[in-house]
Amino acid sequence: MANTRQATPPLLRALNERTVLEAIREGAPISRAEIARRSGISKPTVSLALRSLVDARLVREAERGPDGPGYGAVYFEAVAEAALVLGLDLGARFVRGAVCDLGGTIRARQDVELASPDAEGAADAIARLRASLLDATALDPSLIDGVVAGVPGVVAADGTLQLVENVAGLEGRRLGDELEAALGLPVTLENDINLAALGEQWQGVARGVADFVFVSVGTGMGSGLVLGGELHRGRNGAAGEIDFALVGIGETVDPSAVQVSELARELVGLAADPRAVFASARTGDAGALAVVNEVARRIALHLAPIAAVADVELVVLGGGIAANGDLLLEPIGRRLAEWLPFPPRVAVSTLGEAAVLTGAVAVGLQAALENVFARRAAAPA
C-alpha cells in the first residue's frame, strides 16, 4: 500500500501534464482557462502542469492570442523546436529527406540522386543528406530524436530486408543497423508504400478515413493497408504485397509501366512509352484508349480482392500512374461497382511523390512526441 501512495502523485502529475500538453498542441495559442475547459482539469492543476511544462521547455508563452493581442491574457503554445525528426525515402535512383519539428512543420527538404543504385551508395547518400538538411535548418543536430526511412520491400521482424528488387544489395541486409551506426541515431525502417498510406492518412486524401488502401503503380506495384485507423502489417510484415494477389490465374494482369508499353505493342502495334500512350488517349486515340481501358481493368482486378475481404471505404491511387487519374478513375470505379456489392471510393493521391516522405515524418513525429514527454515524466518533480 505504501508503494501505491508513493507512485500515485508522479503518475497523476504525468497524466495531467500529458493532457495539458495535448490540449495546447491541438488548440494553440490557448489560454489557461481554455485549457481547463477543454481538458476538464481544474485551473490550479492546469497552472501546476503549465509551470512544469514551461520549465521543461516543452511549452512557452505565445506572443499573440488566437485573434491578435491578448490584452493582458496569457496564451500558450508548444515549443516546436523541442525535438526534430529526420524522414527519408529511399528509391532506386534517389533519396528524399526532410527534417520536421514537433509542430509538424518541415524545416528543410532535399532530394539527392544516387551516384550508384546500390546499398553502399544509398548509405553514403543518406549520411550526406542528413548533414545537408541540418545545415539548412541551422538548428542543433542533437535535437534530432530519431530517423524513419521508407525502403522498398518487406522489413522482417529481425530487421532484414526481403523482396527488394530495385536497389542492389539490400536483399537480406540489416540496413537499419548500418544506418544507426553511420548516423548515431535510432533508425526505424518501414516499407515505403506503408509510409505513403500513413502520409495520406495524416495530410492527404485519406484524412479521417479509418479503412483504406493506398495502391502505388509505377515501375512496380505495391499497397499499404490501413484498418481501423492503424497500419496493418500482417504476420510477416508483408501485408500489401499486392503483386502476389492474383498469382496462378493464368494471364498477365500487371498494370505497371513496363506492361503499359507491352500492351500498346500487343493491342494496337504502338511503340510508345507510357506517357505517350496516356497522352494519345487524352486526344481520343482509339488504340491508346483501349490500352488505358485494359490498364484500368488490371488495377481493378487487384483492388477487388482487397475491397471484398477488408471492406475498405477508400482506394488511394499513387505512384507514377496517379498522374493519369483523369483517365483511370472512372473505369476502375465502374468495374469495382460491377463486381462488388459494396465498392470503395477511388481517389488519386493528393501528396504525389511526397507521400512516402510525409508518412516517414508522421511516424517519426508520433514517436518524438512520446519520447520528449517520457523524458519529462521521468524527470524529478
- Alpha-carbon distance of 161 to 119, in angstroms, equals 11
With H, G, I as helix, E, B as strand and everything else as coil, classify residue 345: strand
Cell numbers given for 283: 486526344
User: Given phi > 0 = left and psi -120 to 50 = alpha, else beta, which region is 84?
Assistant: beta
User: Given phi > 0 = left and psi -120 to 50 = alpha, else beta, which region is 277?
Assistant: alpha
Residue 71 has what pLDDT? 61
Would you say 328 and 296 are in contact if contact means Cβ atoms under 8 Å apart? yes
- Alpha-carbon distance of 181 to 363, in angstroms, equals 21
83-197+356-373 folds as: Nucleotidyltransferase; domain 5 (3.30.420)
Domain 2-78 CATH assignment equals 1.10.10.10: yes
- Alpha-carbon distance of 198 to 358, in angstroms, equals 8
With H, G, I as helix, E, B as strand and everything else as coil, classify residue 147: strand
- Give the sign of the dihedral formed by CA 20, CA 25, CA 31, CA 35: negative
Q: Where are the domains of the chain?
A: 2-78, 83-197+356-373, 206-350
Would you say 153 and 164 are in contact if contact means Cβ atoms under 8 Å apart? yes
Q: Give bridge partners of residue 315 from the DSSP assignment.
A: 213, 346
Nearest-10 crossing angle of helices 119-137, 175-183: 40
206-350 folds as: Nucleotidyltransferase; domain 5 (3.30.420)
Which of 146, 131, 132 minimizes the C-alpha distance to 364?
A: 146
Tell me whether domains 2-78 and 83-197+356-373 share a fold. no
Walking along the chain (381 residues) 10 residues at a time, the average pLDDT comes out as: 50 87 91 94 94 91 77 86 95 93 94 83 90 94 95 92 87 93 94 98 97 94 96 94 86 89 86 90 94 96 96 97 95 97 98 96 93 70 52
Please, is 197 exposed, middle or buried when counting C-beta atoms within 10 Å of its C-beta (0-12, 13-18, 19+)?
buried
Cell numbers given for 127: 549520411
Residue 7 has what pLDDT? 44
Sole residue written with cell 511523390: 353
Sole residue written with cell 514517436: 367
Residue 1 has what pLDDT? 41
Residue 169 has what pLDDT? 87
Residue 234 has what pLDDT? 94
Strands, E assignment, the chain: 30-31, 59-61, 75-78, 84-90, 94-101, 106-113, 144-151, 154-155, 161-162, 187-191, 212-217, 221-227, 230-232, 314-318, 345-348
With H, G, I as helix, E, B as strand and everything else as coil, classify residue 298: helix
- In degrees and rounded to multiples of 5, residue 26 shows phi and psi of -80, -30
